[in-house]
């Protein structure tokens, strides 16, 4: 799941810098139907719900020893990936 998360995050992150075209095709992961399907698939595996938009604001200490868990794929403060995501997105 971590590998899928890294691939998804990398693919989406790389497409945000592409300013060559204002129009996004439906099969483009940066904004088309493919993005929605991939996010729904990840959300289904991580959160048992395909409505990934509900997970963006999620943060909770679920008591698993990894600190706070947040977001669509469950970044955590205990292993350091959540602070990295916050720093990169600001």
In tens, the pLDDT along 68-84 reads 999 888 889 998 888 88
For the chain, the domains span: 2-17+26-89
State pTM to two decimals.
Answer: 0.56
Distance CA 21, CA 27 (A): 14
Active site residues: 46, 64
CATH of 2-17+26-89, picked from 1.10.260.40, 3.30.386.10, 3.20.20.80, 3.40.50.300, is: 3.30.386.10
Sign of the CA dihedral running 61, 64, 69, 74: negative
State residue 15's pLDDT score.
Answer: 44
Distance CA 70, CA 74 (A): 5
Give 45-58 pLDDT, tens digit per residue.
Answer: 888 889 999 888 88
Give 15-38 pLDDT, tens digit per residue.
Answer: 444 455 566 666 677 778 888 999
């Amino acid at each position: 799941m971590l590998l899928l998360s890294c691939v998804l995050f990398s693919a989406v992150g790389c497409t945000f810098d592409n300013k060559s075209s204002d129009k996004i095709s439906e099969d483009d992961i940066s904004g088309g139907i493919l993005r929605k399907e991939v996010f729904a698939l990840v959300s289904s595996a991580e959160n048992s719900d395909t409505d990934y938009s509900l997970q963006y604001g999620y943060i909770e200490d679920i008591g698993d020893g990894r600190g706070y868990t947040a977001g669509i794929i469950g970044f955590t403060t205990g292993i350091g990936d959540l602070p990295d995501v916050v720093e990169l997105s600001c």
